[in-house]
A = this chain, B = another copy of it.
């Protein structure tokens, strides 16, 4: 820390991303990446654009927004793209979280919500989960502050129903409710349809998971055009050219190749369900995840020891230190082949 850092941020604790090893000797299941490469047309499409990179990208992301609007059957005014959904969330903190009222989110969820609260100095409240780690929608009624809920939630993979989300919206009409749908394409139900009725609903999403583009950085917001207009105001006051030319091109390609997208997500969902059943047979407790990861524990083995064991067998998974979930592991769903190896190792581990 320098002697110049502003006083308000001297105790800021930043986010710790999952370990990204430089060598490829691991089966890497710790950051919920898609195990399949991007859709086949990307190499050609990117090649066509590389030689125009001396020119600025389109700051209005026009072609990308138009393509996504058509795909989603909504207006372009209801969409904003950004440099990953983390940037959308950061913009949302700036736009919608008053320092007087603050923000609330589930006690166990994506760790970045608390980090944003620290960075933008917005007070936060963590709302407890049920004992089974599910979210009780009634605990979000009349909060008098901005709400963020990941649906499916991370790292549990558990979902709220659309009816439950609607009750939260109805009971917070004067505050923005952000539903973070990073993992929705693996079996959740998007609250997209509710944006037509509720002007306080903002949905965030990403091309990192279901669209095989974590390394390209592309996230989006969906919501009432006034909310999107506010986020645009932030974007044009922060970094107007935040989505680079190649990422815009990659995004368009991904939306256009719908069959590839559907095949990849279907394979991941099938692998997840097979992996879940197989683990349950050998004594694991596995939450009913609708995401591209499973959250699981075993009554005879601590989370930390299991993580260590898997690491020694060149399998990277995520373990959290929070005492409420430190018996659990979060395991991303890889290829069928990789998950067979992981299954074999995990069976040996608990034998």
Tell whether, in the assembled complex, residue B214 and residue A55 are in contact, meaning their CB atoms are under 8 Å apart: yes
Task: Determine whether A245 belongs to the interface, using a CB cutoff of 8 Å to chain B.
Answer: yes
Select from chain B the residue with minimum beta-carbon distance to A28.
B55
Which DSSP category, helix, strand, loop or mixed, fits chain A's interface? loop
Chain B's closest residue to A97 (CB) is B6
Provide the residues of chain B in CB contact with A224, threshold 8 Å.
2
Q: Is the CB of B4 within 8 A of A176?
A: yes
A54 interface hit (Cβ, 8 Å): yes
Chain B residues with CB under 8 Å of A57's CB are: 214-215, 217
Contact B14 A237 (CB under 8 A): yes
Q: Do the beta carbons of A241 and B84 come within 8 Å of each other?
A: yes
A1-14 vs B: 1/0 string, CB under 8 Å?
A: 11111110100101
A134 interfacial by beta-carbon distance below 8 Å: no
User: A90 with B50: in contact, given A56-B31, A58-B20 (CB under 8 Å)?
Assistant: no
Indicate if A107 sits at the interface (CB-CB under 8 A). no
Q: Is A119 in contact with chain B by the CB < 8 A criterion? A: yes
Q: Is A144 an interface residue (CB 8 A)?
A: no
A95 touches B9 (CB 8 A): yes
Q: Does A340 contact B (CB under 8 A)?
A: no
Q: Are B239 and A20 closer than 8 Å at their CB atoms? A: no
Chain B residue at smallest Cβ distance from A87: B239
* CB-based closest 7 A-B pairs: A14-B236, A2-B226, A215-B245, A54-B212, A119-B237, A53-B215, A14-B237
